[in-house]
Amino acid sequence: MVEQETFKKELRKRIAQDYDIEFLGDNFDGICRQISDSQAEKIYAWVEKVIKEEIYPIPKTSDRKYKQWHAYQLLTFVNKLNINSKEYRILLIKLKNSFYIEFHLGTHKYYDKLRSRLDLTPKKY
């Protein structure tokens, strides 16, 4: 199982930017403790693919505000995670042509609330 500070440190290392990314979610630390080492490696590989622009973000054109930005200024990448038959979602949010601002890890219910705040259209998996 993955220790949350090690997980965050490894993600920061792979993202490699000056801006300090926020780690958010419902029970982030508890979910981290359930992630196996092999699942963590898959998450790291997914993040690396996002950084290399091998994975496309969810398109949006909304003028809705999210923190200090408009939703259309953000790129949002989504990945699903299954731990012991329970579905979780990972969202990695980036300011266009700039830095990654947030890494979310949460339940599907948490994801739906965040998706609504970001004005994202549902993604088919």
Read off the pLDDT of residues 29-49 as tens digits, 9 standing for 90 and up: 999 999 999 999 999 999 999
Contact between 105 and 31 (Cβ < 8 Å): yes
State which residues of the chain have pLDDT below 50: 125
The pTM score is 0.90
What is the reported pLDDT for 119?
A: 82
Query: Which tens digit of pLDDT belongs to each residue from 53-68?
Result: 999 998 777 888 889 9
Percentages helix, strand, coil for the chain, rounded to the nearest 5?
40, 30, 35
Contact between 94 and 100 (Cβ < 8 Å): yes
What is the reported pLDDT for 63?
A: 85
